[in-house]
Amino acid sequence: MKTRSLILLCLLAFLGCKEDENPGFIMDLIQSNRYYNQEVIPVAYQNMYGQWRLYDISGGLTASGKETDFDYLELKPFGIYGMVRDDILFEYGSVEKYTFDSTSTEGLQVRMLAEFSSGLEPYFFSSCTKYVFLRGTDSLDLVSPCCDMYNYHFVRASEGNSLSTLCVGTE
């Protein structure tokens, strides 16, 4: 009986992950029209869509940043974000254009609203508002509006770095 239970558990774990011959994004499993029926991100910022590898977290109360604690941010049309740690989608939700600083003309101002999070609270819960700065085609910064919050720095993931095992941690 224990052997059958173990085999069943292994089979369910295997079926929960799909080995993809053509690696793509974990977010490909979430429909583009999940939150919006049309594009909500201005054309000038649509280059932010794609898979981004987190390489640094700066700022915070002590201004010394912190260690990176997730691997990738995936952004896809129409305003969808997902956060990946150890090849598992641990949070996803919507990105909406949201003006929180009417005095600034720099960057795109957005709010990230989690629909699903495997943590106790959404990752960006305390600071869901961010400035989006694109630096060329391969660098993305999510900057907090306040000096004592964290800023996230990414490089575009190359196609060779795409995730090959798609395991989605959804409800």
The DSSP annotation for 26-67 comes to GGGGS-TTSS-SS--S-GGGGGG-EEEEEEEEEESTTSS-B-
In a domain, 82, yes or no: yes
Share of the chain residues as helix, strand and coil, in percent rounded to the nearest 5: 20, 45, 40
How many alpha carbons lie under 13 Å from residue 161 in its C-beta half-sphere?
A: 13
CATH number of the domain at 135, please: 2.40.128.280
Give the chain's residues under pLDDT 70.
Answer: 1-24, 120-121, 125-127, 159-171
3-state secondary structure at position 170: coil
Q: For residue 125, what pLDDT is reported?
A: 61
In a domain, 71, yes or no: yes
Token readout for 125 is 């819960």
In a domain, 64, yes or no: yes
In a domain, 11, yes or no: no
In a domain, 25, yes or no: yes
Q: For residue 101, what pLDDT is reported?
A: 86
Q: For residue 2, what pLDDT is reported?
A: 45
In a domain, 4, yes or no: no
In a domain, 136, yes or no: yes
d(CA 142, CA 56): 11
Q: For residue 149, what pLDDT is reported?
A: 86
In a domain, 2, yes or no: no
Q: For residue 120, what pLDDT is reported?
A: 62
Domain enclosing residue 154, as ranges = 21-168
Number of domains, the chain: 1
